[in-house]
Amino acid sequence: MGGTATAHALSVERAESLSDADLADLCEATDAAIIAGGGFGWVEPQGREVLSRHFRGVLLVPERELFLARLDGVVVGSAQLLRPPRNNEAQAFSATLAHVYLAPYARGHGLARLLVQRVEERAAALGHRVLNLDVRATQKDAIALFEGLGYIRWGTHPAYARVKGQTVAGQFYYKPLDTARGRPMGDILGGAEGA
Ligand SMILES: CC(C)(COP(=O)(O)OP(=O)(O)OC[C@H]1O[C@@H](n2cnc3c(N)ncnc32)[C@H](O)[C@@H]1OP(=O)(O)O)[C@@H](O)C(=O)NCCC(=O)NCCS
């Protein structure tokens, strides 16, 4: 890639509701990304009706936050922040970044980097100290994105997904988050050994 200078307007926002126009653009971007190789769960294009139901459902789940990426004002992709349920006190310090994708027509402008950074900022603002993610080993662009942003690979799952009849490995990553308060992550990670 190298150098993402762009004349385009890039923006990312957390969605608490979706207008009909934004939902239509999001569904179109999602199907376009699925057709281009997916990597965030879906394998086959789903169509507007199924995806509309899906995204409306995401907005209703208390532990999920949906982030929209816009290129020149148009929704072209999304990401989700998954927070641990209230009963999972032991893992309340961490959260998961999931379903990061952009439509192929919106790639290469630095928008995915901005999208991931906005999710990280939100997770840190909510008090999470670690962000986890997992990704198919075949998603090379996404892996370059995450590693470029400092995600640390801690493991590989050899049978992570089934895609078009093939078993695909998955890579598992975490990233310590900087927050204004609390102990430095170095102390926390050091103390985790043997816990
Ligand atoms: C991963 C994805 C979101 C990247 O989108 P993008 O808008 O092109 O990414 P950006 O322009 O923000 O690039 C940011 C960094 O990602 C990496 N990257 C992205 N595309 C790349 C490519 N084709 N080749 C190499 N590195 C790439 C680079 O490190 C890049 O930084 P650089 O421009 O300084 O080199 C996009 O390719 C995508 O939607 N892929 C399919 C979905 C997917 O695999 N999601 C992961 C599941 S969690």
pLDDT digits (tens, 9 = 90+) for 139-194: 999 999 999 999 999 999 999 999 989 999 999 999 999 876 666 676 666 655 44
Secondary-structure percent of the chain, ordered helix, strand, coil, rounded to 5? 35, 30, 35
What pTM does this model have?
0.93
4 lines ligand 1 (CB under 6 A): yes
Cα–Cα distance between 185 and 63 in angstroms, integer?
24
CA dist list (Å): 48 to 10, 38, 64, 69, 95: 24, 16, 21, 18, 29
Domain residue spans in the chain?
A: 10-192
> Which residue's alpha carbon is at the smallest distance from atom 19 of ligand 1?
141
134 lines ligand 1 (CB under 6 A): no
Domain 10-192 sits in CATH 3.40.630.30: yes
The pLDDT of residue 89 is 87
Partnered with residue 155 across adjacent β-strands are: 172
Q: Is 98 helix (H, G, I), strand (E, B) or coil?
A: strand
> Which residue's alpha carbon is at the smallest distance from atom 15 of ligand 1?
145
pLDDT in tens, 16-68: 999 999 999 999 999 999 999 988 889 999 999 999 999 999 999 999 999 99
